[in-house]
Amino acid sequence: MRNVLWALAAGAGGVLAFAPFDLFVFGFASIGVLAWRVERAAGSGAAFVLGLLWGLACFGVGVSWLFVALERYGGMPAPLAALAVLLFCAYLALYPALAMLAYFRLRRGGAFCRAGIFAALWFMAEWLRGVVFTGFPWLAIGYSQTPPSPLAGWLPMAGVYGVGALVAALAAWGGVMDWRVAHNRRQLAAALLVVGGGGWLAGRLAWVEPVGEPLAVSLVQTNFEQALKWSPEHFHTILRTSLELVRASRGQLVVLPETALPALVEQLPGAYVDELGAMLDQRGATLVTGVFARDADRRIYNAASTFGVGAGQYYAKRHLVPFGEYSPPLFGWFYRWVHIPMSNQSRGVDNPPPLELFGRKIAVNICYEDVFGAELVSRLPEAGLMLNLSNLAWYGDSFAQPQHLQIARVRAIESGRPMLRATNTGMTALILPDGAVAAVLPAFTRDVLEVSVSAWQGMTPYARWGDVPALLIASLSLFMLFTLRRQSRSV
């Protein structure tokens, strides 16, 4: 029972490392406690259970906002919504559980060696969680290391999974070593100094630089309750309010959030589109807005479309949300319990060109897409700016908004590009390439954030190579470990 409580407390406490709490040291403490208990587990089955319990607590607390989407806005009965979230968290928990099972069986050597084994397995577990079944990398431990964590300096080189492996290595080292030996304590302190100091120095390397004149941008936060967005009675109110917010904006580039105009482009009233276009043309401005598009084959896309100067460009979301935007095979029964509008979407084309506006190339991503760093950096070096359109109204007043903002901060650091965010209910912001939030609107307010931002040029190491170097190191380490283990068995 003591091990159960330790695992649950460590998992739940690890959420404190992420936004909105931002206590990044809790990431080390959470994984360190897990490694400590797994090291002393009675067997590989017990190690698996400890990893599973840790994951259930971490994800159960950290992504509890999924319940709000299913129950409040999806119409699912509360018990079924709770069960669905529990089953999803149990699936996510399998990744740390399998990592702990493998660690228990493969561990060998002293604390330093064991920490390396733990870190390689942790990296593989988080990376796989981010790609299997289209991936769900939310709460990867590297996200907790945004500034002021000194490890943030490693993000432009190693990415979120590589930084997560550093956290796991240091935490596991502290969890498995004998603290009674002074030499062990000095070694760990030296490692913390090297990794932390190296990250601090790395964060001061100039991988990228601004280019050209700043662009005036208006990021509109419309703040419409999710229950109203698909109400026919409120459709014209939403259109008119959005128009007035655009009229009140001052930027050359004006951005409305994801699905701000809750209809297909072809269904928007002609007079409304004409009025919007005339207003933008008169002031020489461009509007990028979230809207739905339909092609000749009647496939529906969650899209961003331009109006005014440079009208007619659009981007279609490529990485869709399972269950929310499309139904995975064999899960049609799910939609008998929930009511999610526009849940039959198609994914956009791979490698879409950036929007070209006012001499800048802007890479658009929509909501959940910015969780996938390797996909975003594939748009570089061509794009000088990144633009995210989101609608987190589905999740109410929860951890989802600050967690998503923290994820966007990591994407800006990895890519070396400013990230502009226009959201429905929050958090609308400008994030600089060093991860600093230069400006942000309060959540659940209707307002326009006026910012000035330059395009940036250059490539960070992560933008060049993505997760490949860290993946190769982890794979090679585990391959060598398996080989040594087989050789030792054959002797």
The token pair that represents 376 in the structure block:
């975003």
Place of tokens 């633009």: 387
Note whether 159 and 462 are within 8 A (CB).
yes
Distance between CA 165 and CA 115 in Å, rounded? Answer: 10
Is the separation of the CB atoms in 374 and 331 below 8 Å? no
Contacts of 488 (CB under 8 A, 6+ apart): none
The sign of the torsion formed by the CA atoms of 349, 309, 342, 133 equals positive
Kindly list the catalytic residues: 258, 317, 367
Question: What are the strands of the beta sheet with 419-423, ordered from one edge?
Answer: 355-357, 360-366, 385-390, 419-423, 429-431, 437-440
